[in-house]
Structure 1
Amino acid sequence: MQYVAVSALSHPGLLRERNEDSLVAGPWTLCATVTESPQTLVFPLGTPVAIAVADGLGGHPGGDLASALVARRIASVGPALTSEDAVRDALQAGNRAVYEAAGGDGGGAFATMGTTVAGIVVRSGSLLVFNVGDSRVFAASPDGLRQVSVDDSPPLEPGRRTTSIVTQCLGGSPAYRAVHPHVTAEPLSPGDRYLICTDGLTDPVPTDVLDEVMREHDDGRAAFELWKAAIEAGGPDNITLAVVRVSDE
């Protein structure tokens, strides 16, 4: 039997007063809280296993509520995410749920609460990658890290490596906006590794550093060293990440 191992952590960073990120791995969720060290979970690969991060929009009240809502919904429907269409439907339903939770009429303190989301659904022999917003999914291989999610961000200005602007997210505006999730299928073999993370990791830490950490360390230590790199770079945002491995053991 194949297994899915997930080493994950979520931390507010050094500058934010609270953590507005959430994480889901199978039926397990970590919402708007703090882990001091990576938590490792192992799931038998029978029904689909969903692993995802959600980054509540900074500067908008209720970002922690939006990310938690989406993470818990993914946890509840994860075993049913058997196809690309099922994932798209789940993300579109999550978008509607965020608007409904915000009040649905463009008013109230949480009218613009929203969240990004990015993750994978591990199936036997294949994997579905999905995202809305700028949280990311990378495939890690001997050839290096390869981003397999699609950033919903405007083109970067010359000389800039990152941007805090997203062109779509779940919720995030007073009036309802539909989303068009990015969902793609990837082949899957034992030993494959993936990194799923919010921009609290990728904004301060260049991709070549992420690649070096993933090459040099096993899963739990890699998760810790990635968090450490973000902290040493100033920890400007909430940091949530999961290192995922598919194994026969």
Structure 2
Amino acid sequence: MPYIAVTALSHTGLIRDHNEDSLVVGPWTLCGTVTENPQTLLFPLGTPLVVAVADGIGGQPAGEVASALVVRQLASFGPSLDSEEAVRDALNACNDAVYAAADGNPELVAMGTTVAGAVVLAESLLAFNVGDSRVLDATGDGLRQVSVDDSPPLAPGRRTTSLVTQALGGARRFSAITPHVTTAPLSAGDRYLVCTDGLTDPVTEDALDSLLRVHNDGRAAFELWKAAIEAGGPDNITLAMVRIGE
């Protein structure tokens, strides 16, 4: 019977004093805490399964509150996420919820988060994002980014930027979003990496690709985390490996 294997972890990194990332895998959420080891969950292929990370915006209040709210919302939508339209509607509802939670609460004003993830359907995968967290296709020859970074143009000589051009929440007044959602066919053996920029900023795509050519599931997640730590671990690191088995 075809199945979905999801291996995930979330870690503070070496510089931050707390974790503002959150994670959702189906009905399971991990919010603002740390996994000591990669955790692997198995699900039957068929019912829509959402796998996503949310990265609270640094330098603004309550990033961990915003990211937790978003992944819990996505978990609650769960099996209803069966089309691109349903995913866009869910992300717009998440944006509404972040602003509603911040309304009238000085401690939460302008809190925001990025989000990126995938909904695994019986025969296809819906990749989505708002912000600069990423979804990467690790199936074929070479890693391929399927999400779209919401970031301003990079300065000469720069590979990364901490700035985002849209997020869920993140402003004092409501700002609408334009979610990125794409559909790809799905086959046994397909692999995807969903992660926050705590992985992709310090570790180059070539280095990620090299690790994923050698490792799978729990070992892959561990080696990716290790690479981010060895590169200085400058930010929270949250990732999920999605593999279609048979």
- TM-score class normalised by the smaller sequence: over 0.9
In 2: Cα distance, 1:5 partner to 1:102 partner:
35
Within-5 A mapping of 1:1-249: 1-103=1-103, 108-248=106-246
> How much is the aligned-residue C-alpha RMSD, in angstroms?
0.8
**Alpha-carbon shift at residue 78 of structure 1 (Å):** 1.5
In 2: Cα distance, 1:142 partner to 1:151 partner:
21
2:139–2:189: 8 Å Cα contact kept in structure 1?
Answer: no
**Alpha-carbon shift at residue 218 of structure 1 (Å):** 1.6
Please report the TM-score for the alignment, with normalisation by the length of structure 1: 0.97
**Alpha-carbon shift at residue 109 of structure 1 (Å):** 1.9
**Alpha-carbon shift at residue 86 of structure 1 (Å):** 0.3
**Alpha-carbon shift at residue 142 of structure 1 (Å):** 3.5
Return the letter of the residue paired with 2:221: A
Return the letter of the residue paired with 1:55: D
What secondary structure is seen at the aligned counterpart in 2 of 1:144?
Answer: coil
1:137–1:196: 8 Å Cα contact kept in structure 2?
Answer: yes
**Alpha-carbon shift at residue 141 of structure 1 (Å):** 2.3
Divergent runs of 4+, >2 A: none
What secondary structure is seen at the aligned counterpart in 1 of 2:228?
Answer: helix
What secondary structure is seen at the aligned counterpart in 1 of 2:143?
Answer: strand
Return the letter of the residue paired with 1:49: L
In 2: Cα distance, 1:46 partner to 1:122 partner:
8
Return the letter of the residue paired with 1:45: L
Q: What is the percent sequence identity of the aligned residues?
A: 70
1:195–1:243: 8 Å Cα contact kept in structure 2?
Answer: yes
Deviation sequence 1:170-197 (CA, Å, 0-9, x none): 0000000000000000011000000000
In 2: Cα distance, 1:220 partner to 1:142 partner:
19
**Alpha-carbon shift at residue 247 of structure 1 (Å):** 1.0
In 2: Cα distance, 1:78 partner to 1:42 partner:
16
Uncovered stretches (5+) of structure 1, i.e. residues with no partner: none
Deviation sequence 1:107-143 (CA, Å, 0-9, x none): 6121110000000000011010000000000001241
What secondary structure is seen at the aligned counterpart in 2 of 1:35?
Answer: coil
2:6–2:40: 8 Å Cα contact kept in structure 1?
Answer: yes
Return the letter of the residue paired with 1:112: A
1:198–1:241: 8 Å Cα contact kept in structure 2?
Answer: yes
In 2: Cα distance, 1:27 partner to 1:44 partner:
14
**Alpha-carbon shift at residue 243 of structure 1 (Å):** 0.6
Please report the TM-score for the alignment, with normalisation by the length of structure 2: 0.99
